[in-house]
Structures are given as structure tokens and as C-alpha cells.
Amino acid sequence: MTIVKKCLFPAAGYGTRFLPATKAMPKEMLPIVTKPLIQYGVEEAMDAGITQIGVVTGRGKRAIEDHFDISYELEHQIAGSDKEELLSSTRDIMKRCTFSYTRQVEMKGLGHAILVGETLIGREPFAVVLADDYCVTEGDGVLAQMVKLYEKYQCSIVAVQEVPKDETYLYGVIEGDLEADNIYRVRNMVEKPAPEDAPSNLAIIGRYILSPDIFDVIRSTPPGKNGEIQITDALQLQAQQGRVIGYQFAGRRFDCGSIDGFIDATNYTYKAQTK
Ligand code: UTP
């Protein structure tokens, strides 16, 4: 049985919706209460048994690398104090995970960012997390749910969620046949359709398991919407061959790439932590 051992974090985008906060700081380092978005993503990967983390970064993103490394001065400063506990989660991550990084020099879209990550992944199935989609669940994390599905279906899997029809233009949207509870065999997918062109209200959110042939498919995918190489366009080819599953996951997702979603996630998490 093939298992998913690696997770890729495309994190090269400019995060323009959060300017000026993201002028010199990566969007992925914005904190939900005290933890940066990307740390939640890495913890979700660990929860799915994945410990090899690859990050596609860009200019001005060095804080991500520093976050998953030791800060000797800080460690020395708080040694023996009750503040040490606050670093236990990052210490645990560093003990269990390996991190590798590569840079996307030109931001040519999510599909392109994933292709840039090929050097970190090689020829094996892998997970992709967009850290600005922050997901909370009662039981297994979203990625853990998807890894289990991969063991059964052995093909690409996209996480989907119902969205209001007038918001389809913000997402990749799938059309598929219900195969089992919450599981669709995807026939067609459209990037950011106008509501009248949307084939359904099932939108793809930032969690994927991709089969390794996706890299070859992306290589031959021309730029699409906004002149960017879209992962949805590449997945469309696999979908036409019946090799994409849409999974309506159990849990709640906050779009932390938008200000409203970010504030909702912050309030939700703060309440959960102070309950
Ligand atoms: P977004 O479009 O949500 O991120 O891309 P953005 O461009 O950083 O945000 P705004 O719209 O300017 O505020 C989704 C994900 O894909 C990554 C982003 O980092 C984000 O995690 N991405 C996007 C890349 O890594 N490279 C790209 O060329 C585009």
C-alpha cells in the first residue's frame, strides 16, 4: 500500500489582502491567537502521520524557516521559567518533522508553485496544504481523513465544501457523481466560475492529496484564469480520466486569506481556548 509521507506548503504568494501587515512578513506567519497559520497546517499534517514537510517560499518569507528552527538566544532567556511551556509545540514539531524549502522565483500561480515543489517531493503521492485555509475538526484532522481515503482510492483527492452559489467565483468548483457518503467521483472542474456557469456549489478548499503524475500534467498545463497556472486546470485532466475524488470533509474551515475569515477564526479559537 502506498502511503503519504510528504506534505507540500505552497507559501510564496504575496498576501496582498493583508497589506501592510504582509509587506515584510509572510501571510502564513499571521497568528490565530498565538500560533502562526502555517503551524496549524504542520500540526494537521503530523496528525495525518506526515512528518516530511516541504515549503515553497519566495522573497521575504524567511520567518517561516526561522519559526521551525531553534532560537538559541530565546531558549537561553526563558530556560527554567514558566514561559518554556509556550515553546513546547514548536519543539515537538522540530523533534518529529524534517523541513525542506525551495523558492518560487516568479509567482505564476498555485499550479506553478506546486510544480516548483517537485524537487522536494519526487515520485510519490503527497499532500498539499494551503495554510491560509484553517480547518478545525472534532476528531481526525482534514488531512488525516483524506490520507485514509487515499489508501482506498489511490488517486488525487480534493477537499470540497458547500459554498453559497454567489461565491463560486472565488473557488475551483467540481461537478461529480456521488460515489459514497460525502465522496464524489469528479467529472469536471472549473476555476472561479461565475455563479451562472458553476457546475455545482461544491468548492475546492486548500487541502489536496495528489498522485505523482500531477507534475507532468502541470508541465503541460497552459496558463488559465489571471494568466496563472492553475492546479484546477491540471486536475481537470486527471478528472476526465476518472482519477479525482472530491471529499466533503467533516469539520469547519476558515478562509484566513480574507480579513473576515481571519477574524472569525481568531474569535472562534480564542473562545475555544478560554472556555
Ligand atoms: P492566494 O491567491 O490565496 O494567495 O493563493 P496570495 O496570492 O498570497 O493572496 P492575496 O490574494 O494576494 O491576498 C493560495 C495559496 O497559493 C500560494 C499562496 O501562498 C497561498 O498559500 N501561491 C499562490 C503560491 O505559492 N504561489 C503563487 O504563485 C500563487
240-243, Cβ contacts within 8 angstroms, sequence gap of 24 or more? 240/187, 240/188, 242/185, 243/155, 243/156, 243/211
Q: Pick the atom of ligand 1 nearest to 10's CA.
A: 25
Residue 1 lies in a domain: no
**Residue 2 pLDDT:** 56
Q: Whose CA is nearest to atom 27 of ligand 1?
A: 109
Q: Distance between CA atoms of 134 and 41, rounded to whole angstroms?
A: 7
**Residue 1 pLDDT:** 54
Residue 248 lies in a domain: yes
Q: Pick the atom of ligand 1 nearest to 14's CA.
A: 8
Distance 12 CA to ligand 1 centre (A): 6
What would the DSSP string read from start to end of 242-257? T-EEEEE-SSEEEETT
Q: Distance between CA atoms of 134 and 252, rounded to whole angstroms?
A: 8
Q: Whose CA is nearest to atom 29 of ligand 1?
A: 109
Q: If we measure between CA atoms, which residue out of 224, 176, 184 comes closest to residue 200?
A: 176
Ligand 1 pocket: which residues have CB below 6 Å? 10-17, 27, 56, 104, 107-110, 112-113, 130, 132, 257
Q: Whose CA is nearest to atom 25 of ligand 1?
A: 12
The per-residue pLDDT of the chain, averaged, comes to 95
Distance 110 CA to ligand 1 centre (A): 7
Please calculate the CA angle 38-19-93 and round it to the nearest 5 degrees. 10
Residue 139 lies in a domain: yes
Residue 73 lies in a domain: yes
Residue 185 lies in a domain: yes
pLDDT in tens, 208-231: 999 999 999 999 999 988 899 999
**Residue 59 pLDDT:** 86
Distance 181 CA to ligand 1 centre (A): 31
- Please give the share of the chain, as a percent, with pLDDT higher than 90: 90
What would the DSSP string read from start to end of 53-96? EEEEE-TT-HHHHHHTS--HHHHHHHTTSGGGGGGHHHHHHHHH
Residue 212 lies in a domain: yes
Give the chain's domain count: 1
**Residue 12 pLDDT:** 95
Q: Pick the atom of ligand 1 nearest to 12's CA.
A: 25
User: pLDDT band for position 275 (50/70/90)?
Assistant: confident
Domain that holds residue 123: 6-273
- Please give the share of the chain, as a percent, with pLDDT higher than 70: 99
CATH of the domain at 198: 3.90.550.10
Residue 20 lies in a domain: yes
pTM across the whole model: 0.95
**Residue 115 pLDDT:** 98
pLDDT in tens, 42-89: 999 999 999 999 999 998 889 999 999 998 899 899 988 999 888 889
Q: Pick the atom of ligand 1 nearest to 56's CA.
A: 25
pLDDT in tens, 97-114: 999 999 999 999 999 999
